[in-house]
């Protein structure tokens, strides 16, 4: 226990770097976008990057990384998806795709929380602060089932955020679903297929170092 506490206090710089790198990863993913006909919402790699960051860093650090990402975009840095049709800076958060963006911290938190095997083992919550959410001790394996649940939870939350804001802007839930949900379901299946094995393999080693 004492050794774990010392390790937890000795790595604040590593955690800060992880938060920053997570935000930069999502910013880079935002630059890859494909406009879709019939909807103002482009297909981007952002949701995949958000879930990857949440799964790798854990609930707390993943959410903080996404809050940093939103702060960077709100401040006017070019981290959001470039588009002449979408508002820049902080105005983007109140536009047609703002619901997705605002859901990122919650989605990252949920992905990290559900995919945390330490939580399922019932470890002492008073000691959990030494790791990410809590993080993992070296050698702890990450089964695919909680990772799958985490990725699904994150995807659902991102969709709910986008759907809610578009429903407010359009005044129609069915119309918002046609714009914000149905065009992206196939892509969500692909995200699930890609992310689950990646997170299952990488999460234990990365969280054990945070």
* Cβ pair 162, 180 in contact under 8 A: yes
Q: Name the residue among 168, 187, 55 with its Cα closest to residue 102.
A: 168
Q: Name the residue among 60, 53, 64, 56 with its Cα closest to residue 30.
A: 53
Tell me: pLDDT of 7 over 80. Answer: no
Give the Å distances, CA to CA, from 96 to 61, 123, 181, 183. 27, 42, 13, 15
Higher model confidence: residue 123 or residue 16? 16
Mean pLDDT on 25-46: 88
Q: Name the residue among 193, 150, 162, 147 with its Cα closest to residue 42.
A: 162
* Cβ pair 58, 116 in contact under 8 A: yes
What is the residue range of 90's domain? 2-207
Contacts of 76 (CB under 8 A, 6+ apart): 88, 89, 90
**Number of domains making up the chain:** 1
Highest mean pLDDT out of 5-14, 75-84, 152-161: 152-161
Higher model confidence: residue 119 or residue 64? 64
pLDDT of residue 15: 93
Place of tokens 């790595």: 11
Task: Determine which helix (DSSP H) or strand (DSSP E) holds 44, and give its type and residue range.
Answer: strand 43-44
Tell me: pLDDT of 183 over 70. Answer: yes
Q: What is the CATH number of the domain that holds 160?
A: 1.10.1760.20
pLDDT of residue 143: 72
What confidence tens digit (pLDDT) does each residue in 127-179 have? 433 444 444 444 444 478 899 999 999 999 999 999 999 899 888 888 888 88
- For the whole model, what pTM was predicted? 0.82
Indicate the SS3 state at residue 191.
helix
Q: 34 pairs with which residues across the strands?
A: 43
């Amino acid at each position: 226990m004492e050794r774990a506490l010392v390790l937890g206090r000795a790595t604040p710089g590593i955690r800060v770097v992880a938060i920053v790198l997570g935000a930069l990863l999502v910013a880079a993913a935002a630059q890859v976008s494909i406009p879709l006909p019939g909807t103002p919402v482009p297909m981007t790699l952002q949701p995949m990057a958000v879930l990857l960051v949440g799964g790798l860093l854990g609930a707390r650090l993943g959410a903080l990384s996404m809050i940093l990402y939103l702060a960077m975009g709100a401040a006017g840095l070019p981290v959001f998806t470039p588009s002449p049709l979408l508002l820049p800076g902080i105005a983007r958060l109140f536009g047609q795709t703002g619901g997705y963006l605002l859901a990122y911290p919650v989605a990252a938190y949920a992905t990290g929380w559900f995919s945390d095997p330490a939580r399922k083992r019932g470890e002492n919550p008073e000691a959990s602060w030494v790791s990410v959410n809590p993080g993992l001790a070296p050698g702890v394996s990450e089964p695919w089932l909680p990772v799958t649940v985490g990725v699904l939870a994150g995807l659902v939350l991102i969709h709910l955020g986008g759907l809610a804001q578009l429903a407010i802007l359009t005044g129609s839930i069915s119309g918002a679903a046609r714009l914000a949900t149905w065009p992206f379901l196939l892509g969500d299946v692909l995200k699930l297929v890609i992310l689950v094995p990646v997170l299952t393999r990488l999460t234990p080693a990365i969280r054990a170092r945070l």
